[in-house]
Structure formats: C-alpha cells, structure tokens
Amino acid sequence: MNAEANSLTHNTRRDFLKLGVLAGGGLVLGIGLSGCSKPAAIGAGGQPVAWLRIAGDNTITVLVDKSEMGQGVYTALTQLLAEELGVALEAIRVEAAPVGAVYTNNLLGAQITGGSTSVRDAWEKLRKAGAQARSMLVQAAAAQWGVGADTLKVDSGAVVNGRKRLTFGELAEAAAKLPVPTEVTLKPAKEFTLVGKPAKRLDTASKLDGTAIYGIDVKLPGMLHGAFAQCPTLGGTLAGFDAAQAKTMPGVKDVVGTDNGVVVIADHYWQAYKALGAVKIKWDAGANASLDNDAIRARLRKAATRNGRSVRNDGNAAAALKGAAKVVRATYELPMLAHATLEPQCCTADVRADSADVYAPTQTQTIAQATAAAVVGLKPEQVKIHTTLLGGGFGRRLEVDFIGAAMVASKAVGKPVKVIWSREQDMTHDTYRPPAFDTVAGGLDASGKLVAWKLDLTGPSITARMFPPVVETAIDPFAIEAASNYPYDVPNIAVNYNREEIGIDVGYWRSVSHALNCFVAESFMDELASAAGKDPYAFRAAMLDKQPRFKRVLDEAASRAGWGKAPAGHYQGIALMEGYGTYMAQVAEVSMKDGTLTIHRITCAVDCGQMVNPNIVDQQIEGSILFGLTAALWGDITLVRGEVQQRNFDSYRMLRLPEVPRIDVHLLESSEAPGGVGEPGTAVVGPALANAIFAATRKRLRSLPIAKQGIVTV
C-alpha cells in the first residue's frame, strides 16, 4: 500500500457530500467525485445516491455501483467498505446501485463495469466512504456519552466504550445529522482484517436455489413477453413485414417493428417465439450483402501495406533490422469471436408517457439509460435503470443493442414487456471481437541477441464506434494493448497501428486487444528464441533485468511448472504479459497422441498488486484461462453473405468439463497498487498453448483457432 492511498486529503476539494435520512430512519451517505460543486447534481434521476444505508434495525446495505457478472464485485467492493466501517462482511446486504453521476467510474468516465477496473476504481472511494461513515458513527456515540471520540473503538457493527456498546443502528439517526468529515485517515495495509483475505462470496447462496434474479428472470405485474428477430445480414434493416397470420395465433398481443427487427409480443414467451416464425419479414440486407471472411481478410491485408500510425518508436528498428545478422518475419491472422454469455441478451421495459423503468443485465448503466430514453423519446432522467444480476458479461453487455426492442414493444402495448433473444439471435448478432492482420519482424545479432523488434497491427477500432471522441486525435488505446508495453529490453522497437474498418460492428471482448496482441508478440518471441537456438524461457528472462515484476512472474511460472522437466512425451510453452496493472506468466503442458492434443496443465503466476479477495482472484484467473482456451481451440465467427454461420453451441464450441485441464494459479504477494484480474488470463493462455504445441510438433500456429489449422486435432 502506498502513502498516497493513506491520506486522501489531496482530493477532498473535489468531493461533495450529501446526507439524508431515509423514511425508515437511518444514515444515508453519498460521496461524489464528479468535480461538480453542486450537491443537487447527485442522483440526477431523483434517487438518493449513497454507498451505504444503515437502518435503525442494524441492517447495513451497501450499494454496489458495478454490475455483478460473476467476477465477484458484490463481495470485493463490499469488503473494501466493510474494512473501514468496521463490520463483519456477513452482516452486510448488497444492493445494485441506481444510475447516478456519483457512480461514474473514474477510470472510464461513465457508470461502466469493464476493463477490469472495478477494484481499481473502488479502492479509495469505498474505503473512504466506510471511514467517513465510521467517523460519524463514532462522533455520534461520543456526543451521547459525553466523551472524546478518540477514546472510543469500533467493534463489529458497534461503537464501544469500555463495557458500554451502541450499535450502528442505534447511532444511525444521530450520525446522519453530523457533517461528513472531508478528511479521513485510512488504515494502513498491515492493519487490514478483511481486505486481502480469501472471504467467501456473498452471492453464492442465492445462486444455489433458484432465487438469484438475472435479467431473464424479471417479473412485473401485467408483464408480456417478446421474441425478437433481427435482419440476418449484419447491419441490415427491416424493410417491412406482414403479421396477419401471426396475430391470429394464441396469446399474441401485437407485432411491432424496430429499425433492424421484429418483436412479437404475447402472453407467454413460447407463444411469441412460435408466432415470430409466422411473421413474413422483408429485410434490406444493406451494404454487407456480400461480405464474407475472405473479403474482410483481403481488406485487412491490403490496409496492412500502408504505413500505420506510430505507437512506439525506440531507437531505429528499420535500420537495426537491415543491419541484423538474422531477420525473422511472420504474419499472424486472428479470427472474430462471439462473447456467448450463457444468459442470452434480454431486457424488460415498462414505458409510460413520461417515464420508464428498465430492468437490464447491463455493464453500462449510463449508456443504457441514454439509449433507452432516446428510443422512446424520453429524457435520460425519466428512465430508471434497474441492474439485475448478469449471466456472464465478458464485454457483451457494454453494448446496449438488447434494450431498444423492449422499449419499443412496451411503448406499443402500454405494458411491461420482457424481450428475450434466442441463442441463435444472440450468436448471430453479437459485436464480435475484431479480427487482426499483423506482421512482425525481429532482428538477431550474431550472438543470437534480439536487437530489433517491429510490429505492425491492422484491424478495426471498437472505440471509434463506442467512444468516438477518444479516437479523434489519439490511436484507439484498446487496439494496442500488450504491444505498446512490450517489456523486453531491446534497443530498437517499433509498433505501428493501422486502423481499417470492416463493415460490421466489433466489440470489447474479454481482455480486448490484449488477446490479439499478446498472441502475436509472445508466439513470435518463441519464433525468435527458436531462430536464436535458445530456450524460450531463458531467451525471455535474459531481456527482463529492468522489469522485475515481469521477471518475477516468469521465473515463478517456470519453476512452479517444472520448466524443462516435463515428463517424457510432454511439452511446454511459456508466455507472459502485463495488462490492467497485473503481471502474469503461464506455462502450458501438452502431449500428442496420433495427432490429437491433450492439455495436461496450465500453470499461472500472477502479481496483481494488493488483492482484495484472493479467493475471487483465483476464480477469475482460472475462469479467464478457460475462456481463453475455448477461444484458442475452437473460437471462430465466420460470415457468408453478411450472415454469421455459427448459430448455437454446436457450431460455436465451448470447453466442457471432460476437456478441462488442471489449472494451477500462484498468486504472488505484492504491495503494488491493485491490478485488474478478470481479463489478463484470457490473453496469455493462447500463446502459451501455441508455444507448447510448437514444442511438441515443431509447427508454428500463426492463425487461430487451433482446431482449424490442421496441425493438431482438438
């Protein structure tokens, strides 16, 4: 823990604080960091904005502003607040926060759960909120007892004075009348009792008995159900439809069009789904009517011949390549991928004349609110977003394309409507992980030392569509990850980026460009090691003397995996990366029998800085590795005439239990700032595995998925 986090005085000037008393009595504490000086700006939707509520009956509720999509934010963020407040984790209830300026993710500029930022964003905010509330509760007790606040202690939900105790509930009302302290001192890391401990998740029980409510489970009085069909051609629109027959079918209430699709609204989902098949729809395929993978590839290939924009330029890579004793060049091409959250896209809307409630499994409350409002001509502040649990996110629910149909449908029938996408709609109307066409070159001197490294990236930009202002002058920061921060000590490095749009929307997919660029950079490091006649681990390690965090995870992964000591017939591959402030190395161990691959073990060493909950970190890293394995082995979205060919889990294959290797995750002690843990694992496993396959077959994988390269059977 660093000194800065201990003393928060540096940003109190920007803080504004708001306090209120709930109808039922109790403390409400909200803290804004928007830089705006008017407290009235908090809770633009009229909701009370707060991080926690303490009620007279001692119920303590923490409002978590990040969406729970399996990554454990409801638990980890609560731990941060509880640490400073001084209550046991189990004593706290978690509620999803509404939309509000106070919940703006400082790392992303809107209320967004993504980019592995949740803990990094909350690290100060929630501990500070807990400390402020605690200080007010102690002040209230001190006043009641007529003693100095500094003589009092806090012990599991109560203020204590010798043998006298006042519970937080008993103090809440008095505390709420006190001014909020602008300056609080946070505990140093060595005094943490909750943060850094492997606490059980708070959301587990409800996920074992069917009581957890996901977007798809929302029930409202009088609610109808919608089934949705979108133009099969990506980017195509609705030209017209004939619903005469569908409207005669049982339960059907209405059939309405959106700009790119048709919603059938019925009493029950199955009625709507069946009737949807009876609607005669005319599509306008639009510009992508003949788009296929070859066309996309040709486009990227051609664009790659241009000179890209410089991302990084150390020394003179071009000259050093010319002068090198040996030059290695390679081209890597990577496919599009679907997110395939297990809960398909869905949304429930209740649209009225001057307001609306939207129940959505969203990762981006701010944009969801603006989008929902725009679709039906309301103002954002007239729309209330209720965030449900998410049945997986992975970046898919940063999109808001699943909201419009429910809004249109509810407005048309004047009742709440829940719209659920079929798996086929979900799979064929994703915003896919961008494809990539990358060329890379390395120059070795006569001794086999790497003296030049040059990477040219070509692909479409996600951020240009999602957050256009970001790319107005700068290069899309989410296109160059794991390339711009190439860690090896090489005197001449050049990284260039060539943006080329491909006609369809691409989206943020778990670990974003890390998964593309780490695959290229770390596979190619293996090519260079091989050209230099060196061991892939030793080759890397020799260039990391100035990068202690990289070196530490590399050494740890190698030693834990028994690098170089695999059993006979087993082969190993290694890869590393920094992403989201987390340093990671993985070793994959494989064997081959009659051309068929078996993955025995993935060993992963991680330095993610200060951890909030090692139990959740471990889950996230293991899960992200398996997510990356699925992609590396089978992931491939293909287009024919602008239509996605993969429709369900038969043609878009997922890793299943019998195929899951042993995963050993080693979390290293670290006092550095917290890093994100949901994503890096996904990016590193691909190259580690490809490098192990090279060790086993001497064949280099320069495209994915592995299943389609004809090198091994998987």
Partner 1 sequence: MAAINVNGKALETDAAPDTPLLWVLRDHLGLTGTKFGCGAALCGACTVHIDGEPARSCQVARADVGTRRITTIEGLSADRSHAVQKAWLELDVPQCGYCQSGQLMSAAALLAQNPSPTDADIDTAMAGNICRCGTYNRIRKAVHRAAELLKKENA
Residues forming the site for ligand FES (CB under 6 A): 70, 342, 392
Please answer whether residues 652 and 708 qualify as being in contact, where contact means their C-beta atoms are separated by less than 8 angstroms: no
Residue whose CB is less far from partner 1, 127 or 274: 274
Q: Does 247 bind partner 1 (CB under 8 A)?
A: no
Please answer whether residues 271 and 249 qualify as being in contact, where contact means their C-beta atoms are separated by less than 8 angstroms: yes
Give min distance, CB of 273 to ligand FES, in A: 13
Please answer whether residues 11 and 182 qualify as being in contact, where contact means their C-beta atoms are separated by less than 8 angstroms: no
Residue whose CB is less far from partner 1, 17 or 660: 660
* Mask for 269-308, x = binds partner 1 (CB under 8 A): xxx-------------------------------------
Please answer whether residues 412 and 262 qualify as being in contact, where contact means their C-beta atoms are separated by less than 8 angstroms: no
Residue whose CB is less far from partner 1, 251 or 503: 251
The CA angle 674-676-680, to the nearest 5 degrees, is: 135
Give min distance, CB of 54 to partner 1, in A: 27
Q: Does 29 bind partner 1 (CB under 8 A)?
A: no
Interface residue with partner 1, options 599, 626, 693, 712 (CB under 8 A):
626
Residues between 373 and 432 that touch partner 1 (CB under 8 A): 389-394, 420, 422-423
How is residue 61 written in tokens? 């509720």
Dist. CA 703–CA 604, nearest whole Å: 23
Q: Which does 422 bind (CB under 5 to 8 A by kind): partner 1, ligand FES, none?
A: partner 1
Q: Which does 40 bind (CB under 5 to 8 A by kind): partner 1, ligand FES, none?
A: none
How is residue 26 written in tokens? 């109790």
Please answer whether residues 292 and 641 qualify as being in contact, where contact means their C-beta atoms are separated by less than 8 angstroms: yes
Residue whose CB is less far from partner 1, 27 or 685: 685
Torsion on CA atoms 686, 690, 691, 697, rounded to nearest 10: 170
Q: How many CB atoms lie within 10 A of CB 159?
A: 27
Q: Does 457 bind partner 1 (CB under 8 A)?
A: no
Q: Does 601 bind partner 1 (CB under 8 A)?
A: no
Q: Which residues are CB-neighbours of 497 under 8 A, at least 6 positions away?
A: 308, 309, 311, 456, 457, 458, 475, 476, 479, 480
Residue whose CB is less far from ligand FES, 19 or 419: 419
Residue whose CB is less far from ligand FES, 273 or 537: 273
Give the DSSP letter string of 680-703.
HHHHHHHHHHHHHHHHHHS----B
How is residue 416 written in tokens? 């709440």
Residue whose CB is less far from ligand FES, 212 or 330: 212
Residues between 57 and 116 that touch partner 1 (CB under 8 A): 68-72
Residue whose CB is less far from ligand FES, 86 or 344: 344
Give min distance, CB of 343 to ligand FES, in A: 8
Torsion on CA atoms 9, 11, 13, 18, rounded to nearest 10: -100
Strands (E), 156-251: 158-161, 164-167, 224-230, 237-242
Residue whose CB is less far from partner 1, 250 or 377: 250
Dist. CA 290–CA 236, nearest whole Å: 12
How is residue 277 written in tokens? 């098949």
Residue 240 β-bridge partners? 282
The CA angle 560-562-567, to the nearest 5 degrees, is: 140
Residue whose CB is less far from partner 1, 565 or 656: 656
Dist. CA 139–CA 134, nearest whole Å: 9
Residue whose CB is less far from ligand FES, 392 or 434: 392
Interface residue with partner 1, options 90, 354, 650, 669 (CB under 8 A):
650
Q: Which does 97 bind (CB under 5 to 8 A by kind): partner 1, ligand FES, none?
A: none
Dist. CA 304–CA 463, nearest whole Å: 20
How is residue 617 written in tokens? 């970190």
* Mask for 657-676, x = binds partner 1 (CB under 8 A): xx-x-xx-------------
Q: Which does 219 bind (CB under 5 to 8 A by kind): ligand FES, partner 1, none?
A: partner 1
Give min distance, CB of 285 to partner 1, in A: 26
Which among 39-47, 133-141, 579-587, 655-663 is the span making contact with partner 1, rule CB under 8 A?
Answer: 655-663
Give min distance, CB of 392 to ligand FES, in A: 5
Residue 684's closest CA among 592, 615, 585, 605? 585
Q: Which does 13 bind (CB under 5 to 8 A by kind): ligand FES, partner 1, none?
A: none
Dist. CA 604–CA 693, nearest whole Å: 17
Q: Which does 502 bind (CB under 5 to 8 A by kind): ligand FES, partner 1, none?
A: none
Dist. CA 609–CA 607, nearest whole Å: 6
C-alpha separations of 664 from 168, 259, 578, 623, 661 in Å: 42, 48, 19, 12, 10
Q: Which does 210 bind (CB under 5 to 8 A by kind): ligand FES, partner 1, none?
A: partner 1
Interface residue with partner 1, options 9, 185, 648, 713 (CB under 8 A):
648
Please answer whether residues 271 and 325 qualify as being in contact, where contact means their C-beta atoms are separated by less than 8 angstroms: no
Q: Does 225 bind partner 1 (CB under 8 A)?
A: yes
Q: Which does 213 bind (CB under 5 to 8 A by kind): ligand FES, partner 1, none?
A: partner 1
Dist. CA 61–CA 74, nearest whole Å: 11
Q: Count CA within 13 A, CB hemisphere, residue 33.
A: 20
* Mask for 174-213, x = binds partner 1 (CB under 8 A): --------------------------xx-xxxxxxxxxxx
Which among 140-148, 151-159, 297-305, 647-655 is the span making contact with partner 1, rule CB under 8 A?
Answer: 647-655
Residues that bind partner 1 in the complex, under the rule CB under 8 A: 68-72, 200-201, 203-214, 216-217, 219, 225, 250, 268-271, 340-344, 389-394, 420, 422-423, 615, 619, 622-627, 648-650, 654-658, 660, 662-663
